[in-house]
Amino acid sequence: MPRERNPNRDRAYQIWLEHNGNVTNRQIAEMLGVNEKVIAVWKQRDKWKVVQHSPDESCTTRKRGAPKGNKNAFGKSGGAPTGNKNAVGNVGGGAPLRNHNAIKTGEYETIWLDTLDEKELELYEQIDLDPMAQVNEQLRFFSIRERRMMMRIRKLTEGLTEKQRRVLQERVSIKEPVQVHDEKSGQSKTVVLTRNQLVTTEIEETEYRAIEDILSLEEALTRVQDKKLKAIQLKAQLLSNGGGQEKEITVRRWSRDKSGA
């Protein structure tokens, strides 16, 4: 079921129209009691400025490229040599701006506020930025991740085998001669009958290096436990500091250590 549209989204646009666009996102946010960045997202998604343009007005887009008079490419004709067919069938152009073609795991993905969906925007507003709450949340995640990794290690250890065998069976038709006695004539004759049977057609044995998977998981588990220990030390430090500016400085320092781990 689709999520209901936030009523403040339309109210924000009406406020912007009433002021002929001469009102800041912060002022609109204060009127509606929402985050200023959420107003910026609504403005971008609903294209407020494009809607406000009259048919007689023209909107110019700044061209990309080197500034006028730049001679970095002086003497170059540009493009591929004559007769080159490297781009045959290619419509041309690179990937669109802010595309996600290179994203594999999302670990290093750049988050653009105007790309968040409604559910992510709601989560964005509800995030508790208190340093102690953030540390407690990370400790819970580290503990869950630690348990999952230990369960994977135990599962691999219990099912550790040196070899795995794969047997491939196929259903084939087999012809067999059968003696049939004719009671009317009193004679016997040979009849070829066809029957289907499962026959082993391929047997494959492969070495299963489960020990390597176990070692990799144990190394990853050590890294997770090290981060968990740093989070515990940070929590103890926050409790001893008692909050304030020292708390924020400590969180920044821990974030740098965490990114470098």
Residue-wise pLDDT for 42-82, tens only, equals 888 888 876 555 545 444 555 566 677 766 666 666 666 67
Instruction: Kindly report the pTM of this predicted structure.
Output: 0.37
Check whether residue 204 and residue 244 sit in a common domain. yes
Cβ atoms of residues 254 and 236 within 8 Å: no
- Examine residue 170 and state whether it is found in any structural domain, yes or no: no
28 and 139 in a single domain? The answer is no
Element (H, E) at 236: helix 210-241
Residue span of the structural domain in which 215 resides: 128-160+200-261
d(CA 174, CA 40): 74
**Same domain membership, residue 249 and residue 219:** yes
In the numeric block, the tokens 């494959």 are attached to 204
- 144 and 119 in one domain? no
Secondary structure letter of residue 102 according to DSSP: T
- 118 in the same domain as 204: no
Q: What percent of the chain has pLDDT over 70?
A: 62
The confidence score (pLDDT) of residue 98 equals: 57
Cα angle 185-187-188, degrees, rounded to a multiple of 5 = 140
How many separate domains does the chain show? 2
- Per-residue pLDDT band at 181 (split at 50, 70, 90): confident
